[in-house]
Amino acid sequence: MFWPPSERTVGEAYLRDDYDIEGDLAAAAGLADLLISRFSSPQTLLRLALLMRTLPRDDHVIEMEPAGTGAGGLTPSGDTHSKERDAEVIRYHYDVGNDFYALWLDARMVYSCAYFPEGTEDLDAAQTAKLEHICRKLRLQPGERLLDIGCGWGGLILYAAQHYGVLATGITLSEAQATLARERIRAAGLEARVQVQVRDYRDLAGERFDKIASVGMFEHVGRAHLQQYVAQVYTLLKPGGLFLNHGIVIAEKTVSPSPLERLAGLIWREKTFMQQYVFPDGELVYTHEVLAHAERLGFETRDIESLREHYALTLQHWVRRLEARHAAVVASVGETGYRIWRFYMSGCVWAFNTGRIGLSQMLFSKPDARGRSGLPLSRADLYRSSSDDQ
């Protein structure tokens, strides 16, 4: 059942319904981690291995289910992070169906870490607060050109155009996302100011933007392509412009793998559960790696904010909403699809809460020829109340 011993086999056993967990799945992940940490000696590991071999064996292959769930996982083709392969893996994750994501995301369908100023906000309020927080950090002004790399269903570009008067362009590799985003743009009457393109960021040439945002996208870039990604943003950004990069990172001080995990990693070299079933080719990097590439190119680091706890809260909202709509989710992606998403998001709650991974929101300026950043001397403007604008 749990052989070879890894988080992937534990997850796959859950997908097959070999076992079930009632209540808080994230708390169960913490219990599993505690138990694994206790197996430290070779004798204990051997005894555990023998016991695990006595568990019921299930050779059932997880099959694909209706509605393009990708329930059997994906083995992408081509070179890792080539344009063609990136398009394939993005379609795998994001083209599951807009109706599926609408079941558990907020009304704007913002699929990234929300912002909880007080910690008591509901999901819709927290996602709106996140969009406002980003717009303030970018110091958006009417008439400026904003680029959103990995724009999803258009939440940020629509908000920025409506509340800050910018001319916004969003790019995505998902046709499903682009279709719904364009519908929302038309419904808002913003076709003249907001556009969405199905386009790879590497294919943008000859364009210049005053401000650029990348929210929950650079996890798909990969360490080997990180310098190219930052260099492309630098080229696209006008002198005096600002770039906000928001994404999941590896914690600088990560917990060392247990002896059991190290042994399993040496013997069975396999993809993680997330790589196989959720984010093929996804790869996290350290915050300092992004900073080093950015500053080497000429960016100036102006602000770094950790939103780790905010992502744990966001995921808790998503899991509760997913569980509350169980029947509708199963109708959309099947029971296996439901279990993939519940296991994945619950595991991420635990990973963020325990500091295994983090969320860094980084703001960079591209000084103009005279060294001007275009930023105020303090961060006070980020935290003004809405009444201050009236």
The Cα–Cα gap between 255 and 358 comes to 13
Per-residue pLDDT band at 372 (split at 50, 70, 90): very high
Per-residue pLDDT band at 74 (split at 50, 70, 90): low
Q: What pLDDT does 24 receive?
A: 81
Average pLDDT, whole number, for the chain? 83
Q: Which of 216, 220, 179 is nearest to 196 (CA)?
A: 179
- Residues whose CB falls within 8 Å of the CB of residue 8, separated by 6 or more in sequence, listed in order: 270, 271, 272, 273, 276
Among 113, 135, 151, 348, the active-site one is: 348
Average pLDDT of 192-197? 98
Assigned token pair, 193 = 């100011």
The Cα–Cα gap between 357 and 219 comes to 12
Assigned token pair, 86 = 């990136």
Nearest 10 degrees: Cα torsion 259, 343, 318, 252: 20
**pLDDT higher than 50, residue 66:** no
Q: What pLDDT does 102 receive?
A: 97
Positive or negative CA dihedral for 271, 275, 281, 283? negative
Q: Report how far Cα 293 is from the mean position of its chain's Cα atoms.
A: 21
- Contact of 138 with 303, CB cutoff 8 Å: no
113 is catalytic: no
Q: What pLDDT does 200 receive?
A: 94
Q: What pLDDT does 72 receive?
A: 52
Assigned token pair, 252 = 């600088």
Low-confidence winner among 158-167, 233-242, 371-380 (lowest mean pLDDT): 371-380
* pLDDT tens profile 318-370: 999 999 999 999 999 899 889 999 988 998 999 999 999 999 999 999 999 99
Assigned token pair, 124 = 């819709």
Q: What pLDDT does 2 receive?
A: 45
DSSP state of 194: E
Count of CB atoms situated within 10 Å of the CB of 230: 26
Average pLDDT of 131-151? 98
Count of CB atoms situated within 10 Å of the CB of 307: 22
Question: Which percentage of the chain shows pLDDT scores above 90?
Answer: 61
Q: What pLDDT does 161 receive?
A: 99
The Cα–Cα gap between 41 and 44 comes to 5
Please classify residue 306 by burial: count the beta carbons closer than 10 Å to its beta carbon, then call 0-12 exposed, 13-18 middle and 19+ buried.
Answer: middle
Q: Report how far Cα 356 is from the mean position of its chain's Cα atoms.
A: 15
Per-residue pLDDT band at 171 (split at 50, 70, 90): very high
Q: Which of 67, 141, 48 is nearest to 341 (CA)?
A: 67
Please classify residue 124 by burial: count the beta carbons closer than 10 Å to its beta carbon, then call 0-12 exposed, 13-18 middle and 19+ buried.
Answer: middle
Low-confidence winner among 30-44, 59-73, 283-297, 352-366 (lowest mean pLDDT): 59-73
Residue 36 or residue 301, greater confidence: 301
**pLDDT higher than 90, residue 265:** no
Per-residue pLDDT band at 390 (split at 50, 70, 90): very low
Residue 252 or residue 244, greater confidence: 244
7-367 CATH? 3.40.50.150
Q: Report how far Cα 47 is from the mean position of its chain's Cα atoms.
A: 38
User: No. of H helices and E strands in the chain?
Assistant: 14, 7
Residue 32 or residue 201, greater confidence: 201
Q: Report how far Cα 170 is from the mean position of its chain's Cα atoms.
A: 17
Tracing tokens 């744990």 back to the chain, one arrives at 312
